Amino acid sequence: MTVSLLRIRQKPLYSVTGAVLIGCDGVNSVVAKWLGFKAPTFIGQAAIRGCVNFKSNHGFEPKSFQFFGKGFRSGFLPYDDTSIYWFLTTSKDKEREDDLIKMMQFVLRKLGNENVPDEIKAIVENTELDSIILSPLRYRHPWELLWGNINKDNVCVAGDALKPMTPDIGQGGCAALEDGVVLARCLDGALIKEKSEETKGKGDREREEYKRIEMGLKNYAKERRWRRIDLISIPYFVGFIQQGNGQVTSFLRDNILPAFLARLLLNKADFDCGKLNIS
């Protein structure tokens, strides 16, 4: 098959020929659109995220910190002895979208209104402006994966192209790695020529290889479908509870979710996608 690599405006850069097309082209996947998936749904929230390097030991324990307020939540996570990742999730505001200074001021104002400790606010204050981004949060409706085509012929999708999801349980990158392991295992046998094909003509060999690839992608889709539905549904539910301001959601967030969430995160991370024994 021939694949055209596209610019944002859909103008071909060049074409390549291959036996299989795996769409790993992100949330706005062109391949997912070709397979019939709709554009991911915006959930009405955006995440302002940043990373800061203190150049020396910051003194925080390797723990995750989260703070909740009216219409927003924020979190901080050290990922080594000198660096910290932080985020603040709130309703999307066009006014702040392209203005890094306004985003920084907004985050500090929210943290100040909720009486967050000064050492936490200092994390944001020490973040360089070019280390801050704003991302609209989007996800794919679970029922689209239930009924949709993860593969068609010799084409499939993986990673965020398959499962745009909110970041509330921290499994986006992990799930993409799972996809890669399962996909490699399912395609391994398909791309190996059998001895019986050596006496066949080129056309017959290509047709048989195509059929094996198609079956391998079907097996991949079957194996990943329910795992992906799970990983889309759970984060959305968790985020809805965490971000909610109603009496019921606030009660669940403050009294039930903390203990439940810790166990949930461990369970979702402790997933065995099988061994990658390839030929």
Pairing assessment for the beta strands 151-152 and 12-17 based on DSSP bridges: unpaired
Phi, psi of 103 (to 5 degrees): -65, -45
Q: Residue type at 98?
A: D
With cut-offs at 50, 70 and 90, classify the pLDDT of residue 6.
Answer: very low
Taking the model in full, what pTM does it have? Answer: 0.80
Phi, psi of 159 (to 5 degrees): 65, -145
With cut-offs at 50, 70 and 90, classify the pLDDT of residue 4.
Answer: very low
178-193 per-position pLDDT tens digit = 999 999 999 987 776 6
60-78 per-position pLDDT tens digit = 888 888 887 666 788 899 9
Does residue 103 surpass a pLDDT of 50?
A: yes
With cut-offs at 50, 70 and 90, classify the pLDDT of residue 39.
Answer: very high
Taking alpha carbons only, the member of 144, 158, 122, 123 closest to residue 38 is 144
156 has which bridge partners?
A: 22, 151
Look up residue 192 and give its DSSP letter. S
Does residue 215 surpass a pLDDT of 90?
A: yes
pLDDT value, residue 278: 63
Token pair 């990922």: residue = 79
Please provide the size of the chain in residues: 279
pLDDT value, residue 250: 74
Chain mean pLDDT for the chain = 83
Mean pLDDT of 84-109: 81
| Percent of the residues in the chain that have a pLDDT greater than 70, as a whole number | 86
Question: Which range has the worst mean pLDDT, 96-100, 145-149, 197-201, 232-236?
Answer: 197-201
Burial 198-221 (b: 16+ CB within 10 A, else e): eeeeeeeeeebbbebbbebbebbb
Phi, psi of 51 (to 5 degrees): -130, 140
